[in-house]
Structure 1
Amino acid sequence: MAESFGVDARRYDQARPGYPDELVARIVAGSPGPDVLDVGCGTGIASRQFQAAGCAVLGVEPDARMADFARTRGLRVEVATFEDWQPAGRTFDAVIAAQSWHWVDPATGAVKAARVLRPGGRLAIFGHVYEPPAEVAEPLAAAYRRAAPDSPFNAGSARRALDLYQEAYAKWADQIRETGEFDDPEQWRFDWERSYTRDQWLELLPSTGGLTRLRPDQLAGILDAVGDAIDALGGRFTMNYTTLAATAVRAGSR
């Protein structure tokens, strides 16, 4: 699944939201310099925000299709998983992972990040949690069950997505702490909203993890059901987003 997002890199890049400016500014301000390594950079959504903030960004991305697209947008990218990527003596002021750390081996990810960070450099793992209104979420879930009844995504927890993701970020913070290479990790939270039209949401939805590997006919049925639900709301709705981060500073003299 990690390599399924590159099937339509253009759609992914255009439809996926960026990250709160406050988050980017806080990472930049809390790093000793401008050199940033973006782990699992995808099409470069986060990378371009850090470039706009004055950083020099190198992306590492396992999917060559996503990497190629990112290069067309002015990003330097090396194709590899983070675990296999060779730093060749290079070090950075910040290592970021935007919506990608769950694809990194937790036993080695934080240790490798520490190895390529300069003393005082910052590791920042962050990503979005979104919760559509029930009038959109419930038709989506029902249509997905009809289209792909055997999918493991149908066995989701009844708990709120935000609760599950907060647990994941707390676990990542613990893994960072356990390396002994960082100062005590912090967890950040940013709440925000975005309004979507029917067309905007139907453009984004196929780029999400549960839908990237469906057949065209399966996807079409889901999009029709969700589109009808949004039409019933007047053609648009407001999405509640939370952006979570687990972050820590590399120990050592600054």
Structure 2
Amino acid sequence: MPTLPPEEARPSEPEPHRHRETAESFGTDAERYDRTRPHYPHALVARIVARMPGPDVLDVGCGTGIAARQFQAADCWVLGVEPDARMAELARRTGVEAEVATFEAWEPAGRKFDAVVAGTAWHWVDPVAGATKAGRILRPGGLLAPFWHVPQLPPDVAKAVAAACAQVIPDAPFNRAAMTTPALDMYRTQFTRAANGIRQAGGFSDPEQWRFDWERSYTRTEWLEQMPTQGAFTRLPPDKLAEVLDRVGAAIDGMGGNFTMPYATVAVAATRNEAT
């Protein structure tokens, strides 16, 4: 698999892990999050498990336990770490052991793991501090593998979301232009930041990028049910959110009431060196 070349960080690039209000807003409706967010490709889980020296997984930013339950189904023992107590409580109700803390502040209490993973959550972690901590708690040969869903909205839906946000929430602190940018271009900064953090932490193999392509069909109802769980919308007042959803729903109606979303799920993976 390809390795990720090092890049110099650009001062103007956002650092998501500093935006704690958004990072800890997803529990606003934890049950909706768990119900609507997509699972991860089985091939990704299988590849991670195949590279682990043992069965013990730490899931960073485990949320409601979506990825954790997939690793449990692959015969792993999983501990989740989640900063939002509401998300962690739902994870526990679904059978996932979860502790409430940011990863940087979490106390491992001498525990060791065979893999540290993070499903669409590592961007909320300081990339160097996170990789350094992962190196301390991984057994030799253990795997650090944060991964992300990269959805590519069809152009008509993406334009509708951008236009609705421009009209309804013009002062919102997110980049509406990014909504119509090719998704992998937008996420590439996150992958590079994660890889550079691993390199700066030291003690790991050079990071590899693993990509899994798939797609999912959404009805109008299914997509509008998921949208409020996304970081751009979790803190919107209900009236503003309803107006955005109405505008996006109208665009989906114009497409026949459903659409197919291409996804790439991308992991940045590195193995802890035996000698560290």
> Structures share a fold, TM > 0.5?
yes
Query: Aligned partners of 1:132, 1:64: CA distance in 2, in Å?
Result: 31
User: Which one of 40, 49, 74 corresponds to residue 61 of structure 2?
Assistant: 40
Report the count of equivalent residues. Answer: 254
1:93 aligns with 2:114: yes
The equivalent of 2:77 in structure 1 is: 56
The equivalent of 2:133 in structure 1 is: 112
CA offsets per residue over residues 91-150 of structure 1, 9 Å max, x none?
000000111111111231100000000000000010111111111111111111111110
Query: Aligned partners of 1:162, 1:148: CA distance in 2, in Å?
Result: 25
Give the conservation status (yes or no) of the 8 Å contact 1:39–1:61.
yes
1:179 aligns with 2:231: no
Q: In terms of mean alpha carbon deviation, does 180-189 or 18-27 score higher?
A: 180-189
The share of aligned pairs that are identical, in percent, is 62
The equivalent of 2:3 in structure 1 is: none
Matches within 5 A, 1:222-233: 222-233=244-255
1:13 aligns with 2:13: no
CA offsets per residue over residues 49-84 of structure 1, 9 Å max, x none?
000000000000010000000000000001111011
1:68 aligns with 2:89: yes
Query: Aligned partners of 1:49, 1:107: CA distance in 2, in Å?
Result: 27
TM-score computed with the length of structure 1 as normaliser: 0.97
Task: Name stretches of at least 5 consecutive residues in structure 1 with no aligned partner.
Answer: none
1:147 aligns with 2:168: yes
User: Which one of 188, 192, 213 corresponds to residue 191 of structure 1?
Assistant: 213
Query: Aligned partners of 1:12, 1:80: CA distance in 2, in Å?
Result: 19
Runs of 4+ in 1 over 4 A off after TM superposition: none
Query: Aligned partners of 2:246, 2:176: CA distance in 1, in Å?
Result: 22
The alpha-carbon deviation at position 227 of structure 1 amounts to: 1.0
CA offsets per residue over residues 168-199 of structure 1, 9 Å max, x none?
21231122122221112111111111000111
The alpha-carbon deviation at position 216 of structure 1 amounts to: 0.6
Give the partner amino acid of 1:132. Answer: L
**Structure 1 pair 71/16, CA: closer, same or farther in 2 (3 Å)?**
same
TM-score computed with the length of structure 2 as normaliser: 0.89
Query: Aligned partners of 1:218, 1:63: CA distance in 2, in Å?
Result: 24
Structure 1 SS opposite 2:98: strand
Let me know the Cα RMSD of the aligned residues.
Answer: 1.4
CA offsets per residue over residues 141-168 of structure 1, 9 Å max, x none?
1111111110122454474231121232
Query: Aligned partners of 1:63, 1:156: CA distance in 2, in Å?
Result: 29
Task: Name stretches of at least 5 consecutive residues in structure 2 with no aligned partner.
Answer: 1-21
Give the partner amino acid of 2:86. Answer: R
1:27 aligns with 2:36: no
**Structure 1 pair 159/226, CA: closer, same or farther in 2 (3 Å)?**
closer
The equivalent of 1:203 in structure 2 is: 225
Give the conservation status (yes or no) of the 8 Å contact 2:162–2:177.
no
Give the partner amino acid of 1:6. Answer: G
Give the partner amino acid of 2:265. Answer: T
Give the conservation status (yes or no) of the 8 Å contact 2:210–2:266.
yes
Structure 1 SS opposite 2:231: coil
Q: In terms of mean alpha carbon deviation, does 147-156 or 87-96 score higher?
A: 147-156
Give the partner amino acid of 1:166. Answer: R
Query: Aligned partners of 2:48, 2:244: CA distance in 1, in Å?
Result: 38
